[in-house]
């Protein structure tokens, strides 16, 4: 047990790192994903084409490759954000995870928009709402409520995906685990189990929270 207890600080900071990385990615990809979804249903063909191309390209690229590009490619182009090395790595990771997760958020929201009954949109138009207004006040509020379950799985998958950032100089659960294993190679199974439990706490906890939200916002049709 002492491999876990004596390195609790390292594990805690890794756990916190995963949470912070997930939080910023979640906020970013929800915003950017909604924008992409709005573009994909907009009346302007150019916007539709741009968003569709983006989603199809990034969704079919492995996340490891996206992270690889941000962490190793962007420095070549002299694009970096932040002052310390840790900060720069963190921002690259948030950028890559957001760019990738947004595609899945976009697709989830788009499928939600499709579930809104036709009459709702027709009613919105008949009272004179513009495209933006009907999207903002009528369609999206209903569409987003019906997509809580698929969005939840996108977010949970994203939290698990933050593990890949460990390969690109980020401090999170997997890098903490690798660090502890280097110190205590004799207790590998225990350390693995500890890390697994940490991830299960996150994914099961998030599942519970999203379940609550789903029950609260469900629309009776």
Partner 1 sequence: MSASQVLFDAPGPKARRNNVIISIVAVLLLLGAIAWIVFKFAEAGQFEASKWSPFSYTDIQGVLLKGLGSTLLAAALGTVFAMLIGVIFAVGRLSTKRWISLPTTIVLEFFRGLPVLLLMFGVYYLGSGKVSPLVAVVTGLALYNGMVIAEIIRAGVLALPKGQGEAATAVGLTRGQTLRTILLPQAFRSMLPTIIAQVVVLLKDSALGYLVTYQELLYAINNIGRDYQNLLPAFIVGAAIFILINLLVAAFAKWLERRLSRSPKKIK
The residue from 10, 35, 181, 213 that contacts partner 1 (CB under 8 A) is 181
Burial 62-77 (b: 16+ CB within 10 A, else e): ebeebbbbbbeebeee
Q: Which of 143, 153, 157, 159 is nearest to 217 (CA)?
A: 143
Window contacting partner 1 (CB under 8 A); options: 1-9, 60-68, 82-90, 91-99 = 60-68
Cβ atoms of residues 120 and 49 within 8 Å:
no
Binding pattern for the stretch 6-35 against partner 1, x by CB under 8 A and - elsewhere: ------------------------------
| CA distances in angstroms from 94 to 36, 90, 214, listed in the order given | 18, 6, 26
Structure tokens at 15: 């756990």
Examine residue 45 and tell whether it contacts partner 1 (CB under 8 A). yes
Helix (H) or strand (E) holding 188: helix 188-217
Examine residue 4 and tell whether it contacts partner 1 (CB under 8 A). no
Where do contacts with partner 1 occur on this chain (CB under 8 A)? Answer: 40-48, 50, 56-57, 60-65, 68-69, 72-73, 76-79, 110, 113-114, 116, 118, 121, 125, 131, 134-135, 139, 160-161, 163-164, 166-167, 174, 177-178, 181, 188-189, 192, 195-196, 199-200, 203-204
């Amino acid at each position: 047990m002492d491999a876990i207890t004596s390195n609790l600080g390292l594990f805690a900071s890794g756990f916190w790192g995963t949470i912070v990385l997930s939080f910023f990615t979640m906020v970013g990809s929800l915003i950017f994903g909604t924008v992409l979804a709005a573009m994909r249903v907009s009346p302007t063909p150019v916007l539709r084409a741009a968003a569709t191309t983006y989603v199809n390209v990034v969704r079919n690229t492995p996340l490891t490759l996206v992270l690889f590009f941000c962490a190793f490619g962007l420095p070549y182009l002299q694009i970096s954000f932040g002052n310390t090395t840790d900060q720069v790595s963190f921002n690259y990771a948030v950028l890559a995870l957001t760019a990738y997760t947004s595609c899945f958020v976009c697709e989830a929201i788009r499928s939600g928009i499709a579930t809104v009954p036709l009459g709702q949109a027709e009613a919105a138009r008949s009272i004179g709402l513009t495209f933006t207004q009907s999207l903002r006040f009528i369609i999206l509020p209903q569409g987003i409520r019906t997509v809580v379950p698929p969005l939840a799985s996108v977010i949970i998958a994203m939290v698990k995906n933050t593990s890949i950032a460990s390969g690109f100089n980020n401090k999170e659960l997997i890098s903490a685990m690798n660090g502890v294993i280097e110190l205590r190679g004799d207790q590998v199974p225990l350390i693995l189990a500890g890390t697994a439990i940490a991830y299960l706490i996150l994914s099961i906890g998030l599942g519970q929270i999203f379940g609550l939200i789903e029950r609260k916002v469900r629309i009776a049709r």
